[in-house]
Amino acid sequence: MSSGTQAKDLVDDGEYKWGFVTDIESDVAPAGLSEDIIRFISAKKNEPEFMLEWRLKAFRAWLKMAAEEGEPDWAHVKFTPIDYQAISYYAAPKKKDGPKSLDEVDPELLATFEKLGIPLAERAILAGVAVDAVFDSVSVATTFKEKLAEVGVIFCSFSDAVQHHPELVRKYLGSVVPVADNFFAALNSAVFTDGSFCYIPPGVRCPMELSTYFRINTANTGQFERTLIVADEGAYVSYLEGCTAPKRDENQLHAAVVELVAHERAQIKYSTVQNWYPGDKEGRGGIYNFVTKRGKCAGAHSKISWTQVETGSSITWKYPSVILQGDDSVGEFYSVAVTNNHQQADTGTKMLHIGKNTSSTIVSKGISAGQGQNSYRGLVYVAPGAEGARNYSQCDSLLIGDKCGAHTFPYIDVRNPTSQVEHEASTSRIGEDQIFYCRQRGLTQEDAVSLIVNGFCKQVFRELPMEFAVEAQKLLSVTLEGAVG
């Protein structure tokens, strides 16, 4: 991979070794990636030594992967190679001191949130949702912290967690997704600037749904969010992640990592609505979304549930997975992925059954319209010791028009004879007769499509929290506007 080799060359050549002077006052790091940039990010964020070491370890792993193999190329997506030296890896908001409350937040910033339909304060209060808004890599507003603190829940930006709870960060960071896990996870580990951190102490049921809105704003700033959620014994948390992004001309890289840890009898429900800019009708300018999401059911009777609605990005490369390590643990994956115009999605899950009597459910709904390409890629692995493991997978594809594609790549690797694995798949097309039937009852063509699509996705939508489900339905209608000509 040329860009990776280039990165390595630059470091080897020493071009940046002495040539690059860390300017701690600078708000934006110069484009490029090197050990110095990583030191700059770490210094900028005033991180303890272990974090820097961890980042450097990840960076070296990434360099090795970049030099040896380059970007992973097994996914069913096509894109021009990314020039990692052209990306700026750090951008802070203009304001120098972090705001202590919403009043101190730049009104323009708040206005942008408004436009996105996220009136932060009101919405948070009305919905009882704590919002840790991530804007250009650095958290600018956190609400409801006190209320959560009362029950001992820690919900803060990742930077804050590094400052105030370094022992937790040290213990869990990289425990589910190791630094060298894959190309994009390694890159994220090296350069991530912020994200969310959440810790639910033993026996606590988090009193509200936790929510973070990610948003990409500054041009040419790769986004490398890091999320870590730990539910201690018997704890419960529901976490919502929603994304939008404004129009943009260049492709933007987004490589997030999300790690979940569920201890004994703990439950984590993680819901995502992803609506990043998908590019224009010809596919120009969309977001590249290369995300690593993984949860570990570390304790017995624990449960991790992923629900995702993916309508945005020009490329989605994402496999929220569960390591079912504790006995009787449960993993779930509910997904709706939509590709329209020239969007490409290669998404699915991995359910790794290690503990006894572990069970997992996979429900994947792929919708392709325009010239969109939609692939489900999933692995169900049952380890030799996973007595009585059970999996049920269902993968349905819906095609709108005749230029799109749907592909299913289910991998099943079963090494225990007492396990039960079921896989069902279907592909259907929105029928002209279905649309005519709806129109004959007075619905417009667009309402008809949206109705049929929502019916198709119902199994997944009902797993979403109510507010999110409504948003997801609207999003789907908007995404597929004009898909049936």
Partner 1 sequence: MLLRIHDLHAEIDGKPILRGIDLEVGAGEVHAVMGPNGSGKSTLAQLLAGREVYTVTRGEVTFDGKNLLEMPADLRAREGLFLSFQYPIELPGIANSYFLKAAVNAVRRHRGLSELDAVDFLVAARAKMKLVGLREDFLHRSVNEGFSGGEKKRNEIFQMAMLEPRLAILDETDSGLDVDALRTVAEGVNSLRSPDRAIVVITHYQRLLDYIVPDKTHVLAGGRIVRSGGAELAREVEERGYGWITGATESSDGMPVAAA
Site residues (vs partner 1, CB under 8 A): 431, 433-434, 436-445, 447, 451-452, 454-459
- For partner 1, give the closer residue by CB, 206 or 457: 457
Say if residues 235 and 201 touch (Cβ distance below 8 Å): yes
- For partner 1, give the closer residue by CB, 365 or 377: 365
Minimum CB distance to partner 1, residue 428 (Å) = 9
Minimum CB distance to partner 1, residue 454 (Å) = 7
Minimum CB distance to partner 1, residue 447 (Å) = 7
Q: Across 51-146, where does the E strand assignment appear? A: 130-135, 138-142
For residue 395, which phi and psi values (nearest 5 degrees)?
-125, 110
- For partner 1, give the closer residue by CB, 456 or 468: 456
Burial classification of residue 247, based on how many CB atoms lie within 10 Å of its CB (0-12 exposed, 13-18 middle, 19 or more buried): exposed
Say if residues 93 and 133 touch (Cβ distance below 8 Å): no
For residue 235, which phi and psi values (nearest 5 degrees)?
-85, 160
Torsion on CA atoms 257, 295, 148, 129, rounded to nearest 10: 70
- Tally of CB atoms within 10 A around 95: 14
Say if residues 133 and 140 touch (Cβ distance below 8 Å): yes
- Cα–Cα distance, 241 to 155 (Å, whole number): 14
Say if residues 470 and 435 touch (Cβ distance below 8 Å): no
Minimum CB distance to partner 1, residue 429 (Å) = 13
Which residues are registered as beta bridge partners of 198?
155, 229
Minimum CB distance to partner 1, residue 478 (Å) = 17
- For partner 1, give the closer residue by CB, 22 or 454: 454
- For partner 1, give the closer residue by CB, 150 or 433: 433
Minimum CB distance to partner 1, residue 249 (Å) = 37
Say if residues 156 and 197 touch (Cβ distance below 8 Å): yes
Minimum CB distance to partner 1, residue 433 (Å) = 5
